Amino acid sequence: MNILDRFTLKGQIAMVTGAGRGLGFEMARAFADAGAHVFVTGRTTETLEAAAHSIVEAGGSAEAVAFDLTDASARGSAIDRIVGRHGRLDILVNNVGARDRRPLTDFEDRHIAALLDTDLLAAISLSRDAVKVMAAQGRGRLIFVTSIVGEMAMPGDAVYPVAKQGLTGLMRSLAVECGAHGITSNAIAPGMFATETNAALAENPDMVAFARQRVPLQRWGRPDEIAGAALFLASDAASFVNGHVLTVDGGMSVRM
């Protein structure tokens, strides 16, 4: 078999959370380009439908599924809908990540709970339901989008890294727990990406200078530059990669 053939996702079913735009959309588009049918999920129907339409217009296969990730019933229904329609789920990307930058002393318990619910607890629940399906079919790929801030601290951003480190712990636990079922579990830790959410920051002269100083490639990442890492982990090219955090940050996290 040609090594490039191992990157195909032809006939596979993928679900990407938070895929209406940004990194989630780029990962979904890459999966569709590789032959998968992709469920583009998130909260806003219009955004998701536009994203799915864009993928289809480019020759891929995708559909939008809108639901609130913090709604336990809606999460379960989304998995049921996918499996009911296609009989399987091959790839789950837990990508959603809300952020609230402020000192911990400014948080109330309800704010902390809301962030953890979105960034961590929802991924635990979705992964549990996906694992049941993947174990029955004897194969699956779990991918968790964490962050380099799980390892690198900065002031005024205490709760988000807690959730991201929690995802890393979940990923490693599932790598051990689910490997015997043919399921791999890995993570992608992005650095500074110029997504729609970060557009103002990426254009700020001070942050441009910061990237030049701290990132060895001296720039912010383009959203599409996440796609190769996601496709690799989702494909048979990574069939023996399990329990790994793939950092995609231009070298920022290794610079002294």
Q: In the β-sheet with 140-145, what is the strand arrangement from edge to edge?
A: 61-66, 37-42, 13-16, 91-94, 140-145, 183-190, 245-248
Select which of 7, 39, 160, 232 is catalytic: 160
**Annotated catalytic residue 160:** yes
Task: Give the C-alpha separation, 66 to 122, whole Å.
Answer: 15
Q: Give me 50's structure tokens.
A: 């536009």
Instruction: Output the DSSP codes for 80-146.
Output: HHHHHHHS---EEEE-------S-GGG--HHHHHHHHIIIIIHHHHHHHHHHHHHHHHT-EEEEEE-
| Nearest of 15, 178, 166 to residue 95 by alpha carbon | 15
Task: Give the C-alpha separation, 168 to 144, whole Å.
Answer: 8
Which residues are marked as active site? Answer: 160
